[in-house]
């Protein structure tokens, strides 16, 4: 019995410490969750108040009020632009879906049509912005136009890039891939 007492004491200490640790973990919140929640809220507000019309909102079903997003700095200003993937039947057709590109102040830069994920972002820049490669019956090179202050909106009419050239791109970031955890959000 005397050899069991030290083990019981150790077990009691572990149980008490374990309970205290578990309570502490459940009481804390992650700041990055708040940032994501705030960003989701602002994107939803942009879509429903600045991008869509009242007529759109009347006909879009609750199930079709869905989006995904990704952020990335495209112009080297240390502020992340926001890609929004509107992936519901209201915004998608046989050629692809609509994507929006916003600046960090939620101003629309470009509305891309007939596009399928993933979006490729090259480290190569032209006119101070990274080159994009959007898929529309093959990858298309999208170059920022400094006069219109946007990328071309319809990738299907832009220069097609061969698969070989796409595979030779260096330092490409892929957005909206199947492997990424792209949560769906509602507005």
Residue 59 pLDDT > 50:
yes
Kindly state the average pLDDT of the residues 7-14: 40
Position 12 confidence tier, pLDDT thresholds 50, 70, 90: very low
Per-residue pLDDT at 24 exceeds 70: no
pLDDT reading at 25 higher than 50: no
Residue 32's pLDDT is what?
A: 47
115-156 per-position pLDDT tens digit: 999 999 999 999 999 999 999 999 999 999 999 999 999 999
Q: What is the mean pLDDT of residues 53-73?
A: 96
**Cβ atoms of 143 and 89 closer than 8 Å:** no
pLDDT digits (tens, 9 = 90+) for 68-108: 999 999 999 999 999 999 999 999 999 999 999 999 999 99
Q: What pLDDT was estimated at residue 93?
A: 94
Residue predicted with more confidence, 41 or 169: 41
Contact 125, 119 (CB under 8 A): no
**In the chain, where are the structural domains located?**
31-186
Helices (H), the chain: 5-27, 31-46, 54-59, 163-168
Q: Strand runs (DSSP E) across the chain, as ranges?
A: 66-72, 81-86, 92-93, 96-102, 108-126, 129-135, 139-142, 173-175, 185-186
Q: Nearest Cα to 98, choosing from 179, 38, 155?
A: 155
SS3 34: helix
pLDDT, residue 184, reads: 87
Kindly state the tokens that stand for 164: 């070989």
- pTM equals 0.79
């Amino acid at each position: 019995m005397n050899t069991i007492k030290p083990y019981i004491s150790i077990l009691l200490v572990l149980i008490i410490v374990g309970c205290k640790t578990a309570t502490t973990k459940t009481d804390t919140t992650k700041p990055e969750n708040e940032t994501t929640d705030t960003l989701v809220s602002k994107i939803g507000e942009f879509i429903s108040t600045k991008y869509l019309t009242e007529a759109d909102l009347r006909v879009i079903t609750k199930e079709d009020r869905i989006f995904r997003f990704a952020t990335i700095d495209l112009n080297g200003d240390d502020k992340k632009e926001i890609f929004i993937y509107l992936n519901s039947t209201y915004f998608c057709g046989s050629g692809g879906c609509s994507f929006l590109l916003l600046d960090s102040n939620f101003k629309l830069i470009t509305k891309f049509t007939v596009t399928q994920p993933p979006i490729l972002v090259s480290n190569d820049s032209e006119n101070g912005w990274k080159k994009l490669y959007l898929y529309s019956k093959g990858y298309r090179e999208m170059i920022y136009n400094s006069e219109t202050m946007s990328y071309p909106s319809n990738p299907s009419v832009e220069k097609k890039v061969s698969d070989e050239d796409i595979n030779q791109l260096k330092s490409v970031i892929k957005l909206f891939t199947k492997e990424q955890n792209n949560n769906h959000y509602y507005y």
